[in-house]
Amino acid sequence: MSVALFTHLACLDHDPGSWHPECPDRLRAVLRALEAPEFAPLLREEAPPATKEQILRVHDAAYVASILGTVPALGEVVPLDADTVMSSGSADAALHAAGGAAAAVDAVMEGWARAAFVAVRPPGHHAEPGRAMGFCLFNNAAIAALHARARWGLQRIAVVDFDVHHGNGTEAAFAGDPDLFYASSHQYPCYPGTGAARGIGDHIVNVPLPPGSTGGDFRIAWEATVLPALDAFAPELLIISAGFDAHHADPLAELRLTERDFTWITEKLVACAKIHASGRVVSVLEGGYNLDALAASAAAHVRVLMGI
């Protein structure tokens, strides 16, 4: 059974400006890497726009109306906070990013794809139910999780996050629901300042890593804390917030991971999904701001999803 790749050209039209690290070239770099011959078996799918119903399962109605109603003139941007801006194509890009994540859930649940990688932008894991932040507009992974519950009746859904930044938005969306599991490893202290080593019940797991932590430190943290908790939760679907900005070459933080570490964690997560979730994995692109490191790391991640 093949692996599906969901993306959409609209995701290139979100243009925060030439100064901004979350630039369209990020997605171009990932897609260019996935054009290599070894990735020819990928099922290349167009990410549909999310429906309002899908988005409203995570985000407040007033917030959704505000985002969809913000359409700057071509060549202009509207700042939402110090880091997050919208251009003329941002709302459409955000719709396709969230819709691609939901469609990827359908692909693995319908059974025509074993796993899916959602190569979209803007990223999502900082977007809280009522607030954009950290380059994020809609929380793609959380929207995918609640779509899986609403459409497919799944009871235990997990989002795991190895982005270098804590996914405060996903934690906020999941905090009151013990049937939704969220686990994150991340640099701490670092933006957004959340994610200290404490849990909310037993379904939120945060593993802060100090600046300078290596791939070895990362692996120890996951094997000691996150992977046992994930195994105990026994998810019926595993969603990955796949940020690659913990790479040692990334300019926005100070962890020291390599492509081999992203390969390792993907292997561990795929193995867990095979035990508990019939192998069903949906991976959604989050951060990664050195283009070469992002492309190489995403390719390493997808190789594991494909079993190559």
The amino acid that residue 213 corresponds to is S
Handedness of CA 194, 198, 199, 201 (dihedral sign): negative
Among the listed residues 59, 125, 126, 301, the single catalytic one is 126
Distance CA 290, CA 154 (A): 36
With contact defined as beta carbons under 8 Å apart, do 127 and 57 qualify? Answer: no
Catalytic residue check, 126: yes
- What are residue 224's phi and psi, to 5 degrees? -85, -30
Three-class secondary structure assignment of the chain: CCEEEEECHHHHCCCCCCCCCCCHHHHHHHHHHCCCHHHCCCEEEECCCCCHHHHHCCCCHHHHHHHHCCCCCCCCCEECCCCCEECCCHHHHHHHHHHHHHHHHHHHHHCCCCEEEECCCCCCCCCECCECECCECCCHHHHHHHHHHHHHCCCCEEEEECCCCCCHHHHHHHCCCCCEEEEEEEECCCCCCCCCCCCCCCCEEEEEECCCCEHHHHHHHHHHHHHHHHHHHCCCEEEEEECCCCECCCCCCCCEECHHHHHHHHHHHHHHHHHHCCCCEEEEECCCCCHHHHHHHHHHHHHHHHCC
Q: State the sign of the Cα–Cα–Cα–Cα dihedral 288, 164, 200, 135.
A: negative
Residues with catalytic function: 126
